[in-house]
Chains A and B, each alone.
Chain A
Amino acid sequence: MNFDLDQDQVDAAAGARQFFAGEASPAQARAALAGSPLAPGRGALADIGFTGITVAASDGGAGGSLLDLAVVAEQAGAVLAGPSLVTAARAAVLLAGHPELSAALADGSRSFAVVDGERPALDAVDADTFLALVDGDLVVGGGQVAVGQPMDATRGLGVVTLSDTRVLTPEAAALWARARDVALVVLAAEDLGTAGRAVEVGVAYAKERHAFGRAIGSYQAVKHSLVDAWVGVEQLRSLVWWSAWAADRAPDELPLAAAAVAAFAAETLERAAETCIQVHGGIGFTWEHDAHLYWRRAKVDRLLLGDATEHHDVVAGLVLAGALS
C-alpha cells in the first residue's frame, strides 16, 4: 500500500498553488459579488491546461488522472478561484469519445456548463454550451440562463432553459452517474482547499490576537475548535485522495467514495468557515474581512449536487447492500 501523492502530483500542486496565488484571491471573490469578472476566468484556466487535465491526450488534453486534477482543484479552492474545475472534470467524462467537443473543453474555445434539470447549474453564467440528461439521453446544446443575486459569485450559478439540443449519447444514465460522482470528488477537492485555508487564517489570528493578557489560541476553547476543524480537513484530504484514486483505479468503489467525500466535505468546510469567523470575533463578521467569503463558499457548496443528508443516505444504501463486506 502506498497512500500518498507521487512526486509529479506534489510538483503539480506546488505549480498550481503558485498559479492560483497570482491569478485569484478572496479579494477578487469579493469583487465578483459586485459584478467583476471571475478570476482566473475560463481563458486563463484553459491556457494553463487545467480545464483539460482529464481530457484524453489525443483530444488535446493532458490525459491525466482525476487525482492529478484533484490536487490542482484543492489549490483553486484555497483562493476561491472561478470558474470551477468541477465543471471541467464532469464535462470531460461526458464528452469522452467526442474529440471536437473534448478539444473545445481543453482549449477553452467553448464554455461548458452541466445542467441538472431545473436546479441551479454551476458555471452557467458565462457558459455557451450546455450538457444535460434528457429522457435518459445525454444532450448538448444552447440555453438561456436565469441568474439570481449570487451568494457566492465565483460559483456562476444559474437556472438553465435548454434550446437547440441534440442527442450526444443515447441511454447515457450510467455515464451521467459516473460524471456526477466525479463532480462530487472535485467539488470536495475544492472544498478541501477552502477549508484548509480558512483554518490557516483562523490559526494565524489566534496566535496574534491577545485577550486577558495572552494569545487567544492558548485558551482551550479557541484551540480545540481550531483543532477539530483541522482534524476534519486532514480527514477530508484522505477521502478526496481515495475517491479520486477510485474514479480511475477502482470504479466499483467510486459511488461509495464519492458520496462519502461529498457528505464529509460539506460539513468540514462549513465547520472550518464558521470556526474562522468565530475565532476572529467582530472583525470576522465584516464585509472587508475574507472570512465571509470562505463562509459563502461553504454555504453554497454544501447544497450543490445534493446535500449531506442525501449523500449519507446513498452511503447507507450502499453499506446495507454490502459495500463494506
Chain B
Amino acid sequence: MDFDDTPDEAAYRTRVRDLLAEHAADLVHLDAGEEATNAAEQEQALRRTQQVLADAGLVGVAWAAEHGGQAGTLAQQAIVGQELARARVPALINHIGLGMCGPTVVAHGTREQHERYLTRLLRADDVWCQLFSEPASGSDLAALRTTAVRDGEDWVVNGQKVWTTLAHVADFGILLTRTDPERPKHGGLTMFVVDMHAPGVTVRPLRQMGGQSDFNEVFFDDVRIPDSERLGEPGEGWRVALTTLLNERVAVGGGGNDLGLSIESLARLAAEKVPALSVDRQVLARQAVGRAAVAALANRYTGYRRLTAISQGGLPGPEASAGKLSATAAARLVSDAGVRLLGDDAVFAVGTGDDDAGRWQRNQAWLPGIAIAGGTDEVLRNIIGERVLGLPPEPREDKHRPFNAAGSAR
C-alpha cells in the first residue's frame, strides 16, 4: 500500500506540469476560489483550452491509440486530472463526451464511427451531450417515449429530451429512443448518434433554481438520422445505455473527488471566519467543519480504493454507485458548514457575486441537482441494494409487458 507516485508516475507528473506551464497562455484559468462558470459564456475559450491540452497529449490519456488517445494508464489519467486542478484549469468543456459519450461510442460504435468522432471529441472540435431523460421518464429511464421509426436508410425521430447538460453548445449527442413499442420496455430501445445541428432539433435552455442555465430541453421533430449512426443493434439500446450510466457514476464522484466546493475551500473559509465567532459559536462551527472533513476524507479514500481497483484492471461495477452517493452526502455537509459560516451574508447574494457569499450560495443551490443527476440517491441505493447486497428488487409490474400495453405507455 502506498500513495506515492512510482518513479514512472513521478516523471510523468513532471512532464504534465511542464506542458501545462508551457501552454499556460493558451489555457483558461480560474482565479483562486473561483469555480467553473457557465460553459456558454466561455465556449470558444474552453474549446480552445481542450484543443491545446489534447494536442499536448493530455486528453484521453487512458484511451487506446486507435481511438486517438495516449494509450496511457488510469494512474496517468488521474495525475493529469490532479495537475489540471492544481493549475486551476477548469473542467474540460467536453466532460460529458469524455466521461460518458466517448466510452459508449468506443464500446458500441463501428470502426467508421470511431474514426468519424473520437479524435474530434478529444479535441472538443465537437462537443457532446447525452440525450437520455425525458419529461415522463427520469429514474425510470426505460419508460422513455421518444420514438425512432425506420424509413429507408434513415430513422425518423420525434419526441422530447430534458435536463440535457451542454445541449446548447453541443455538436453531437447520444440519443436513446424507442424503436419497438411492441416489446417490453427495456427490449425496444435503440441508441443513436445525433447531429445536434440537424433540421428538426430545437434546444431550449432551462433556468435552474440557482439562476444558471447549464441544462436544456431538446425537441426532436421529424429529425432524420442515417442508420449508419446507430450505436449497437436495434433493440439493444438498454445495454448500450448501461455502458454510459456506469461510466457516468465513475465520472461523477467515483474517484472520490469532492462535488462542488471542496473541503479545502471550506478549510480556507473556516480559518478566516471561525476565530471571529463567539466562543460558543466556535464550538458549534468546529463540529460542523470536523464532520464535513471526516465525510470528505471517507469519500476521498474510498475513491482511492476504487481507482486502485480500476487501475488493476477491474471494471467499474455497481459499487461505483456508492461513490456518487457518499460524495453527495459529503458535499451537503461541506456546503452547509460553509454557508453557515457566512453568517448574515448567507441570506443575501443568491447566485451573484464572486465573493465568498456568492460562491457558497451558488454551491448550495447547485447541490439539490447533483443529488438527482446521473441517478438519484434513491436509484443509487436500489442499485447497491440489489446488485451488491443481493436484496430482491421491488416488483416492477411493467417490466415484462409490451411497452404499448395498457398501464405501460400512459
Contact = CB atoms under 8 A, between A and B. Distances in A.
Interface of A: 1-6, 67, 203, 206-207, 214-215, 217-220, 223-224, 226-228, 230-231, 234-239, 241-242, 245, 249, 256-257, 260, 263-264, 309, 311-317, 319-320, 322, 324-325
Contacts of A230: 384, 388-389
A1 B304 contact: yes
A228 B393 CA distance: 17
A114 to B, nearest CB: 25
A320 B270 contact: yes
For the residues of B in contact with A, the DSSP-based class is helix
B326 A3 contact: no
A147 to B, nearest CB: 33
Interface string B285-309: 1110111011001110110110111
B298 A2 contact: no
A218 B395 contact: yes
Contacts of A231: 322, 325-326, 384
Contacts of A214: 392, 395
B297 A260 contact: yes
B287 A313 contact: yes
A140 B86 CA distance: 50
Contact of B4 (A1, A67, A206, A219): A1
B179 to A, nearest CB: 31
A203 B308 contact: no
A305 B271 CA distance: 27
Contacts of B1: 2-6, 67, 241, 245
Contacts of B2: 1-2, 245, 249
Contacts of A263: 290-291, 294
A59 B297 CA distance: 36
Interface in B261-285: 263-264, 267-268, 270-271, 274, 283, 285
A39 to B, nearest CB: 29
Interface in B298-353: 298-299, 301-302, 304-305, 307-309, 311-312, 319, 322, 325-326
A325 B262 CA distance: 11
B391 A218 contact: yes
B75 interface: yes
B385 A238 contact: no
A316 B290 contact: yes
Contacts of A256: 297
A227 B384 contact: yes
B394 interface: yes
A47 to B, nearest CB: 28
A70 B298 CA distance: 17
A235 to B, nearest CB: 4
Contact of A1 (B294, B307, B384, B393): B307
A203 to B, nearest CB: 5
Given A1-B2, A234-B322, A316 B298 contact: no
Given A218-B393, A264-B294, A320-B274, 18 more contacts: A1-B4, A2-B1, A3-B304, A203-B389, A223-B386, A224-B378, A226-B391, A227-B389, A241-B301, A242-B301, A245-B3, A249-B2, A263-B290, A313-B286, A314-B290, A315-B293, A315-B294, A319-B270
Nearest to A65: B1
Contacts of B385: 217, 223-224, 226-227
B88 interface: no
B390 A320 contact: no
30 contacts: A1-B5, A1-B308, A4-B312, A67-B1, A214-B395, A218-B393, A218-B394, A219-B394, A220-B378, A223-B389, A226-B389, A231-B325, A237-B305, A238-B302, A238-B304, A239-B297, A241-B1, A242-B301, A245-B1, A256-B297, A260-B294, A313-B283, A313-B287, A316-B286, A319-B263, A320-B267, A320-B289, A325-B264, A325-B267, A325-B268
Given A214-B395, A234-B322, A316 B381 contact: no
A6 B308 CA distance: 12
Given A4-B308, A324-B293, A236 B391 contact: no
Interface string B187-214: 0000000000000000000000000000
